[in-house]
Structure 1
């Protein structure tokens, strides 16, 4: 009962956070401004949302291919359909319960393919590490090409935590943060080593070993060029879909690809903060539009909610459709294609 209770609390917390961001983004909007938002959307080039849908779907498919490339060094070659379906279902679950989707997609793939779920977790960690690097590059590019516009905005978002009351960088806060991180890692290492004979701790150690084994896959990638290609393709599609979405609104169209770059950088933070970016994504995008001299309550909100809706529709539609097809596809495989049932040694619990 304890685990479901914790899961429910986690879900309620992040959902509540999303609702809070929704309230913050709309609380000051007056009746006249709602009419302006409606007018902006009515005059938008909504047909441009179609290529946005296509590019987002292609980015998710490319992510599935990249995941397959990471699995090859582990000796796993799942079908492209199952991998893509697992990715989309994982996104669908993440929209409700953050991070649970990563576990679900590994479990689903291990059910129908001859793969070990615990080692797949390692590839997920590696994917996230690569995405963090890519997002960092996006921020650097945004600051390089749009720094004169968004420099202060980005600084206010990420720099305040490490500043003192005088507004200067606090070496004390930085030192304390690093010390806490080091102590946490040391404590985990000690507990795993000291109490490894306990069943629960032993299971955690086995999971961590599986993760480390999965992380080693990056060193032995057979097709490094294709891995790099799909990584670049994923983030290029993110940028292009965001930019096309900006062109959909006549008021934001002049921002061009530079505005798309900054919106991608800032909006990605919102996607991390709450399930599916609900509330947080539109709020951050609206704040960013104010930096460009646009009304954040009208044009900013219109753009933020338009882009967020496009991303959410693809996740909901794609996830639900592939979830329905996933079981049907695997049940109707030819007998010769069905894998033998894995033993407990083949699949380790997550």
Structure 2
């Protein structure tokens, strides 16, 4: 192998990039919290909820967390020998880091962790994560379009509809790229090396290597059965989420049915597409407020909506943290090991 060229002198050092991300995250958090406070109270003075509300919602969150991790197994299993238990534990631990790290950098933790447990290259596992994110994005957009058909004609709906259309185009393009990688794995790599490589050789080489790894990870695509099982798990995952949100809304005194809860879920996830701070502080509440505003008058959003957003956020965060910490302890995984995203050394058997 030839030695890698020296980094370009104009590249910003890692600490500078990290501080830039932190600064931008703080700006996004401040803007989101400012917008949220105009619609609801992030920490309301009174928290009235039916006695059955929290136990019932937490039960749906347990099923939601199980389905979220379990569906990944159908995409990972065709790539090599991997235990279902390992996929579950890594999925639960990875969900914690997705919440803990800004700018969704936690998405890189799951493939790195499972690569150490299974021997499957992290670049291949990254391809399965890409499939997840694209399918989830298309599901969110489809959910919004379905729910928007039954929503009242309010001014905010036009802007949300435009944002969702743009997001749908983005995810559809990403899906097309994944299909190209799966069907013609060498095409994008060649295009990057011969096209971008003439302008910036090193970035082109890095992107080409990533594309090759993603293509290897997309080997599950031509197999219909794993994809169908993954899609069934995904529909069950989102359906559980919608049911739980509707259940919690009733416990908080809000008159929201399944269709309205579907709309709130879609708007919330569209808002979370904005890269932001750890734990989605501000952006989460902003998404809930925007979704509720489609169906409820401002005074109801300010009152019951504030309670609803508070419990929705704290319950999800607590469940992700509790399951993620438990899974990390079972994996004997410390935070330093979780953040070490370097690929594992090849074992005696190789991969």
TM-score grouping bracket, smaller chain normalisation: 0.7 to 0.9
Aligned residues: 306
How many Å separate the matches in 2 of 1:153 and 1:271?
A: 17
- Report what 1:331 is aligned to: none
Aligned counterpart, 2:121: 116
Q: Contact 1:263–1:288 (CA<8 Å) still a contact in 2?
A: yes
Q: State the distance in 2 between where 1:159 and 1:114 align.
A: 43
What's 1:318 paired with? Answer: 323
Distance apart, 1:28 and its partner CA = 7.6
Contact 1:121 1:211 in 2 (8 A): yes
Alpha-carbon distance between aligned partners in 1 of 2:210 and 2:42, rounded to the nearest angstrom: 51
5 Å matches for 1:239-254? Answer: 239-250=242-253, 252=254, 254=255
CA contact (8 A) 2:57 2:244 kept: yes
Closer, same or farther in 2 for the Cα pair 1:280/1:200, shift >3 Å? closer
Distance 1:17-1:189 versus aligned 2 partners, 3 A rule: farther
Task: State the match for 1:51 in structure 2.
Answer: 56
Distance apart, 1:191 and its partner CA: 5.3
**Residue aligned with 1:255, SS:** coil
Distance 1:129 1:151, change over 3 A: farther
Give the conservation status (yes or no) of the 8 Å contact 2:288–2:309: yes
Paired with 1:266 and 1:23, the residues of 2 have a C-alpha distance of 18
Matched, 1:226 2:229: yes
Q: Distance in 2 between matches of 1:161 and 1:245?
A: 25
Greater CA deviation, 100-109 or 85-94? 85-94
Q: Which residue of 1 aligns with 2:264?
A: 263
CA distance in 1 between partners of 2:137 and 2:235 (Å): 13
- Structure 1 unpaired stretches of 5+: 163-173, 329-339
Specify the SS of the correspondent of 1:98: helix
| 1:294-324 superposed Cα distances (whole Å, 9 cap, x missing partner) | 4233333222222122211112222122112
Instruction: Sort the Cα spacing of 1:45 and 1:75 in 2 relative to 1 into closer, same or farther, 3 A.
Output: same
* Alignment match of 1:138 (pick from 119, 132, 143): 143
Helix, strand or coil: the match of 2:92? helix
Residue 312 of structure 2 is aligned with which of 307, 317, 321? 307
Q: Which shows bigger deviation, 227-236 or 52-61?
A: 52-61
Q: Does 1:85 align with 2:108?
A: no
Q: Could you say what the CA RMSD is over the residues aligned between the two structures, in angstroms?
A: 3.5
Structure 2 unaligned spans of 5+: 1-11, 178-187, 334-343
CA distance in 2, matches of 1:161, 1:112: 37
Deviates more, 1:80-89 or 1:115-124: 80-89
Equivalents in 2 of 1:120, 1:290: separation in Å? Answer: 39
Following superposition, the deviation at residue 284 of structure 1 comes to 3.0
- Larger CA deviation: 129-138 vs 16-25: 16-25
Q: Secondary structure of the equivalent of 2:229?
A: helix
Matches within 5 A, 1:309-348: 309-327=314-332, 342-343=346-347, 346=350
* Cα distance between partner residues in 1 of 2:26 and 2:189: 29
Whether 2:22 is the aligned partner of 1:17: answer no
1:66 to 58, 62, 71: 71
In 2, Cα distance between equivalents of 1:235 and 1:66: 12
How has the CA–CA distance of structure 1 residues 160 and 111 changed in structure 2, closer, same or farther, with 3 Å as cutoff? Answer: closer
* Secondary structure of 1:219 counterpart: coil
Distance of 2:23 and 2:51 partners within structure 1: 34
Deviates more, 1:217-226 or 1:188-197: 188-197
